[in-house]
Chain A
Amino acid sequence: MSSVRLGRALAIAVADFKSLWRERVVVFWAVAWPAIWVVLVAAVFVPPEAGSVTIHVGVVDLDEGFGNLTWALPQATVNASTSSWGNLSVGRVLVNALRNATLFKVLEYSSTSDLLKDLESARLDLGIVIPENFSRSYALGTAKLYVYVSGDNPVKVQLNKGFAQGFLYEFSRELAVGRVRAYLRFFYEFSKDLANTVVPSLNTTLGEVVARSLVGLVNPVDVVIEERTPRTLADRPLVLGWYTVGAIGMTMMYSGMAFGAGAVVVEKERGRLDRMVSAGVRASELLLGKTLSTGALMLVASAVVVLTGTAMGARVLWSPLNPRDWLVPLNLLLAFLMTVSVGFSLSLLTKTSRAATSLGSILGLLLSFTTGIWLPRSMLPQLLRALADLFPVTWAVDVVRAVFVYNEDFSSIAVLQAKALAAAVALVALGIAAYRKTISRYVEVA
């Protein structure tokens, strides 16, 4: 490539930027469209109340209590959710436990038929009917509970069923533990000496051994469940931060590729290429000028998207005083250079500006949806996840996210950064070669 006279490249950049900026279609697609997506994500897909699930539960409590079986009552050994035994009814305890769980919104019904009617009309997700002899059956053995599951689609039905099973299993387990403790109370009261007898081999009392054993009977496995939510879905500000960077990546993908693909042919079709070349403009100056003008447009688009994302509640972190944070503009630049370079390569396949910009924008949009730039990897099928892992623009976008949204240390992104940098150098070299080939189609001596 011949040397560059910066003045001419800047003149081209300024004129081209003004020209692009005054084309409403360009401004809409490059600047407004990604911002609209951020607003859509914030308002529709991740509304402020997103993340909380509410199950509407209807309950018919017909339980008449323990009657003369009060001896079987569990004591205040059960946990907080089932601690209210004032009215001596397990059914009432269940209703209170449901009310205390933030997951459920409870509505009480006086009859089973009313409950079923509302379930069938999709006003409820779950229906629970506590029969008359519920407490007595519990005191003497096993109590039967009737649960009805609804939902407007099979997935929701499965989810509601899962919620019901999970909650009632836990409730049932706690009742069992309470009953064990009630029996242990009798054991200590009526066989005090036996209970306090030390078992030498275990170095503890027999009462303690029996207690552990009985609790183990009803609770043989203590399952520890810890939530590890994908960080993209961790909370709303992070989700919006993720999509804000995604929107910038998306506009770079389709705008960068479209502008790169059409950079030469647009100038040719409008007759400016001949004029510039005859005025002594070199191919390298045109390349720099066009890249700068598109880059300036992408800078404006990025700023608008970040401001929109921030206004919608996205978490973005950037400080000019933190050297690590300069990786954000660096990687936005790398992402832009990579997409424009791919666009230059696409220009080899097209002969008209319409074909070039169509190919660039369609491919860019498609790739932004399938390579983890706009849609999280967790939403992609396995094959596309592999593609996302191999796609260089995604590396740069991921570095931006790591710094801009997740505040990660440089050490955790160093490898990704190195890969993005190396890929950008390679793609830019390819892009320049493709550009030279394209321009030689129209101008033989530039």
Chain B
Amino acid sequence: MKLEIVTTEETIFSDDVDIVIAPGTEGQLGILPRHASLLTALNSGDIVARKDGKESVITVNGGFLEVAGNHVRVLASSNQ
């Protein structure tokens, strides 16, 4: 499953991951591969991406998360 996090300025993360945990407005949500298509707004917080047991943590200041196909795309608000 591919995770891509972009801001208006740059792509800050783009890699294959096993699970994504994101701070949705309705609560934390974990996304595993082959998740159904989903669109949600995000609260400020940490997006945790795990791959082979290794974790990457990316802090976002709100934004949107889209799951389509086997692709997770985060349109993050800028960190300012």
- Note whether A and B form a binding pair: no
Interface residues of B (CB under 8 A from A): none
